[in-house]
Amino acid sequence: MSDPFNPRSSRRTFLASAAGGAAAFYCTIGNTKVTLANPGDIKKADAIAAAVPRPPILGASTRSNVSLRATKRGTAFDPVDKLSFPRPTPAPGGKYVEYWIRARTVKWNIVPTKRDDWHGTPIPGKSTFKAAVYQEMTPGFAEPKGPANMPGPLLHAEVGDVLVVHFQNDLGDLNQAVTFHPHGVKYTPDYDGVYLGDYTRIGGFIAPGESFTYRFECKPDSVGVWPYHDHGPNHTVNTMRGLFGALVVREKGASAPDVENLVVFHSLIPPITGLARAFSCVNGRAFAGNTPTFRSKVGQDVAFYITGMDNDFHDFHMHGHRWKTPAGDFTDNPAVGPNEVAIVRFVEDNPGRWLYHCHVFAHQDGGMAGWYLVDP
Amino acid sequence: MSDPFNPRSSRRTFLASAAGGAAAFYCTIGNTKVTLANPGDIKKADAIAAAVPRPPILGASTRSNVSLRATKRGTAFDPVDKLSFPRPTPAPGGKYVEYWIRARTVKWNIVPTKRDDWHGTPIPGKSTFKAAVYQEMTPGFAEPKGPANMPGPLLHAEVGDVLVVHFQNDLGDLNQAVTFHPHGVKYTPDYDGVYLGDYTRIGGFIAPGESFTYRFECKPDSVGVWPYHDHGPNHTVNTMRGLFGALVVREKGASAPDVENLVVFHSLIPPITGLARAFSCVNGRAFAGNTPTFRSKVGQDVAFYITGMDNDFHDFHMHGHRWKTPAGDFTDNPAVGPNEVAIVRFVEDNPGRWLYHCHVFAHQDGGMAGWYLVDP
Amino acid sequence: MSDPFNPRSSRRTFLASAAGGAAAFYCTIGNTKVTLANPGDIKKADAIAAAVPRPPILGASTRSNVSLRATKRGTAFDPVDKLSFPRPTPAPGGKYVEYWIRARTVKWNIVPTKRDDWHGTPIPGKSTFKAAVYQEMTPGFAEPKGPANMPGPLLHAEVGDVLVVHFQNDLGDLNQAVTFHPHGVKYTPDYDGVYLGDYTRIGGFIAPGESFTYRFECKPDSVGVWPYHDHGPNHTVNTMRGLFGALVVREKGASAPDVENLVVFHSLIPPITGLARAFSCVNGRAFAGNTPTFRSKVGQDVAFYITGMDNDFHDFHMHGHRWKTPAGDFTDNPAVGPNEVAIVRFVEDNPGRWLYHCHVFAHQDGGMAGWYLVDP
């Protein structure tokens, strides 16, 4: 938070920091630590990220060549670093479920309507920045399946399946390695999708223009909804500028809800966007009418999947509704930490216009609210 | 947080921001966005709130006149905005449970004893401000049922009942609309008690001096304890200055605990109070001996209902006791986000003087602690 | 957080505050309130703590002399303050489980390798400070059972047992009273281990050089994992500088996991350490290769016990693994507030090098991450 009592603290400073999420942060990119505090600093982070060299160790086929001696940078290998891993195959009755996903940049408007439809208030000022998102493509990356969106596509698989994500780094002039790191599914270190410096496995550094195919097992304890996000060398910056989404794993043959909505609470802050103020967002947008307007009909089986993708903890409040928690009691306001997930599911019985919002007052007021319309 | 290393950062600044809760925030009142950072700013917020016009759409009887064309302010109506709704009636075997509640102001002392009874420490300085609270009245708003208190009365109903809240805005010179918005119970949009600009329904704007009767259904999934608070045009300010409370819905015929205590963790901060420092509070009071001193007797069935009413997350630690969570494991320190509720219930077996406190160290030290005395 | 847009805000300020945890706080020590904001302030806190007088009321044997009149400091005694309590004995089939633990100081290096092994990044600068820790001793405090460590020893008992902690204050030149306060077990007020000013019982003020024996009952609802920490007159400071650990209570005869790991997320901040920057820590260390490198083998029954010991909320993410929550759903990223505990338990099935980290991005980047190595 800024210091509002300090007379030297400008209003612009306040707006930059008030809407949730640290307005400054500290991150490690390759072997450099960098402070991101000013709007211009993202250029610095991107330049450092573009210079991160491809780690020398690239995966299963080359693991037998790994020296277990320490590197010049002080890395001390362990026998586990020499292991190689088989490709997963579906469990009996399971199948391969394939997605083609590319990381790309997109000119993204956080407040396209320039107003808050809840209060009828104008939201003046610049709200467009260069985001990075995961976009679903047709097989072979032939063409987009739909517009670039934040979050990325909601992926679906069942227990026993192998979820196959063909991933392409198409970030263009950002010119840096990214990855696809999922929660909840089982993967070998090759498919972890995480940059680990000298310990990096093949899926942890997908260089600009390259593709890689990840293979994830859906196990009985993968049932649930799980975020995915970048975990490459510049992961904090890239996740915060939009490289996130979620996947759903159901029991084999379990019925899907009629309506399925993903709600990602996060902030878009000046060091990431270069904009003058911070926004408290749902799915990359701030203020009702910009954030998703969800819709369903009385009698439908409705699901909302709630997660957080910044440094803050959030509460999801949906007016007019309550539902059972996994523990068996009832809530209308579950909390989620970063990358935690709360599953909301109910049979719709309450028509009308409803407000949903994060119940952290400062987030709600900073734009983390929207509409849910229920037809009779 | 303030910046304590900045030599220009004064001690007063630090005290203002250290005790939990953002010392500054940003809110939307009617169609104006306002920054509340300085003690004087609440006057500005109240002036804006007093000028918010009554929304043109006032409820069931007039819904058929709603134009579905956009308003001058850009509001685009939806067919759901034209819906009208029946008044709820009790389920078979249920009943109407009626309360009369008015919103009023009160001169509120956060630290009436001027000391912290835990450490025996003086707490000097001004600690009184103009709060707003919900006060329970006798039928017909004839007279107060007890002193004005923060939080408001703990309401009770059972599954199948219709909870009827006769609400009166008696805020006097604050001269602004407020509402009564509950969690957990079922309501139609008319009884949501939320200001939604042009979409506002009849219960979402109770003007100064006016009354309104809310009707809420207690459904099987309403079982639990739920906050209520203002959700009018100036809701963040009014909730933070005291317009909050809680309600309990039990299964029909379920036994009530012998002792039932509501614990609301929240902060009272300079932009709301006009005071020089922030206080970390339980039920509007800070520091042991001012916060509630709860009391019970060995053998009693004791309940504490914990919630948060600010921008922070809290932990409730009760010394000398543990209890079962809804998931079936045990805790003595559950976390709650804003408007989340943790229910604590145990059979008392441990006599003596016990400390309870928020386990966020900074909150505990800022006043969020108190006594629980157990007689043998 | 610091204000990164304020040109007067120095880089040092930012580093001091960016890595999680309030960089300044306010605490009560005996009957003095003190602000800890600058590295030098801990000396002030320690001087105040050293001057806190022994409270006049020291325990069971002297309770009958307690006057129920108010003291000069305004303390108003209650009949419960006059109660005396029996020493607990084991339940049928239970036993006494004895530990000898001393509080001592230790020169503690937060980043002994001077690098982040995840990214291969140097971490320059001073990282050693004077910590205080709980150290396990052989019977009679004869000699240390192992090196001084942060956190203290993981204690074990079963339902029905009395956990006996022989505690010695050996803090030397810190020259102040400390205590041992556990969560989860049952204790009388004598064994609460909490300083309460004039209400303090015998276990709540263990003066420099003194010893005290605490006796805690392990009840059926004590099953779980629970933190312990200092709760003496200077508890916030002493807990934050390392006086914390955890205990495990199992059902009688319940099988222990093959591998048991305690993960304490906390921050070490300039007002506590006197260092120029804050560190986001696991068990007193920051950055992979310094934080614990956990290890197990495929087929082992593995447990991680997660808790937080600062002002922040945290998320524990373990790559490559998922597990069942107490509610019966699955997670790989549970949240914990200060002194809340999440129990992670799974049968190991995934060999390789795995990253674990707090999923609050700013904490992960500030050092709250480490390795988990699984042998095939």
Using one digit for the tens of pLDDT, what is the confidence trace for B327-351?
Answer: 999 999 999 999 999 999 999 999 9
The answer to whether the Cβ–Cβ distance between C311 and B366 falls below 8 Å is no
Residue of C221, C236, C324 best to disrupt the B interface, most CBs of B under 10 A = C221
Could you tell me if A227 and A309 are in contact, meaning their C-beta atoms sit under 8 angstroms apart? yes
Query: A17 versus C151: which is more confidently predicted?
Result: C151
Taking an 8 Å cut-off on Cβ atoms, the answer to whether B335 and A333 are in contact is no
Q: Is the model's pLDDT at A63 over the cut of 90?
A: no
Q: How confident is the model at residue A187 (pLDDT cuts 50, 70, 90)?
A: very high
What is the pTM (predicted TM-score) of this model? 0.94
Shortest alpha-carbon distance between residue B94 and chain A (Å): 20
Q: Please say whether the beta carbons of B307 and B265 come within 8 A.
A: yes
From CA B347, how far away is CA B324, in angstroms rounded? 11
Q: Which residues of chain C have pLDDT under 70?
A: 1-23, 57-72
Amino acid identity, residue C180?
A: F
Question: Per-residue pLDDT for B68 more than 70?
Answer: no
List, as ranges, residues 75-104 from C with C-beta within 8 Å of A: none
Overall number of domains in chain C: 1
Residues 296-315 of A with CB under 8 A from C: 310-311, 313
Calpha distance A104→C189 (Å, rounded)? 61
More confident of the two residues B77 and B65: B77
Task: Please give the Cα distance from A112 to B327 (Å, whole number).
Answer: 42
As given in the structure block, the two tokens for residue A346 are 């109910």
Among the residue ranges A11-25, A308-322, B211-225, B272-286, the one predicted with the least confidence is A11-25
Give the full edge-to-edge strand order of the sheet including C154-158: C154-158, C244-250, C224-229, C181-182
Helix ranges (H only) for chain A are 11-18, 41-50, 235-240, 270-273, 361-365
Q: Tell me, yes or no, whether B72 lies in a domain.
A: no
> Who among C8, C78, C339 is closest to B333 (CB)?
C339
CA distance B334 to B325: 9
Banded model confidence at residue A67, pLDDT cuts 50, 70, 90: low
Q: What is the pLDDT at residue A40?
A: 79
Q: What pLDDT, in 10s, does the model give residues A259-306?
A: 999 999 999 999 999 999 999 999 999 999 999 999 999 999 999 999
The CA–CA distances, whole Å, from B226 to A332, B146, B186, B245, C324 equal 9, 22, 12, 9, 28
Among B340, B58, B324, B94, smallest CA distance to B205 is for B58
Distance (Å, whole) CA B291 – CA B171: 25
Residue of B nearest to A331 (CA): B184
Hey, is the C-beta of B43 within 8 angstroms of any chain C C-beta?
A: no
* pLDDT at residue A137 in the model: 98
What rounded mean pLDDT belongs to chain B?
Answer: 90
Average confidence (pLDDT) over B30-47: 84
C5 is a domain residue: no
For B219, half-sphere exposure in the C-beta direction (CA atoms, 13 angstrom radius) is 17
Contacts of C339 in chain B (CB under 8 A): 315, 317, 333, 359
Do residue B224 and residue A118 have CB atoms under 8 angstroms apart?
A: no
Q: What is the pLDDT of residue C76?
A: 87
Mean pLDDT of A118-144: 96
Residue with tokens 């447990």: C303
Residues B171-200: tens digit of each pLDDT: 999 999 999 999 999 999 999 999 999 999
Q: What does the block give as tokens for C372?
A: 């988990």
Reference C89, options C223, C224, C216, C202; nearest CA is C216
Mean pLDDT computed over A36-50: 87
Tracing tokens 């996994």 back to the chain, one arrives at A326
Mean pLDDT for chain A? 90
Whether C239 is in a domain gets the answer yes
Confidence of residue B65 (pLDDT cuts 50, 70, 90): low
What was the pLDDT predicted at C39?
76
Residues from chain C contacting residue B117 (CB–CB below 8 Å): 74-76, 197
Q: Is residue C1 part of a domain?
A: no
Please report where in the chains the tokens 């790559």 appear, as a residue: C319
Q: Is the pLDDT of residue B23 over 80?
A: no
Nearest chain A residue to B24, by CA: A4
pLDDT value of residue C69: 63
pLDDT for res B57: 65
Please give, rounded to a whole number of angstroms, the shortest distance from the CA of A225 to a CA of chain B.
Answer: 19
According to the model, what pLDDT value does residue B76 have? 87
Q: DSSP letter for A88, please.
A: P
| A281: containing domain | 11-58+87-375
Q: A233 pLDDT exceeds 90?
A: yes
Question: How many other C-beta atoms can be found within 10 angstroms of the C-beta atom of residue B140?
Answer: 8
Whole-number pLDDT of residue C67: 62
Under the banding of pLDDT at 50, 70 and 90, the label for residue A78 is very high
> For residue A3, is it within any domain?
no
Rounded distance between C-alpha atoms, residue A321 and residue A265, angstroms: 19
Alpha carbon C273 to its chain's center: 16
Which residues in B lie closer than 8 A to residue C192 (C-beta atoms)?
Answer: 319-320, 354-355
- Calculate mean pLDDT across residues A162-189: 97
Asked whether residue A66 is assigned to any structural domain, the reply reads no
Pick from C352, C302, C332, B329: nearest CA to A223: C332
Which token pair is A321? 């509704």
> Is C6 a member of any domain?
no
Provide the CATH number for the domain around residue A133: 2.60.40.420
* Rounded Cα–Cα distance for residues B158 and B165 (Å): 15
Enumerate the residues of chain A whose CB falls inside 8 A of the CB of residue C349.
Answer: 186
Per-residue pLDDT at B184: 98
- Mean pLDDT over B209-233 rounds to 98
Domain-located, residue B252: yes
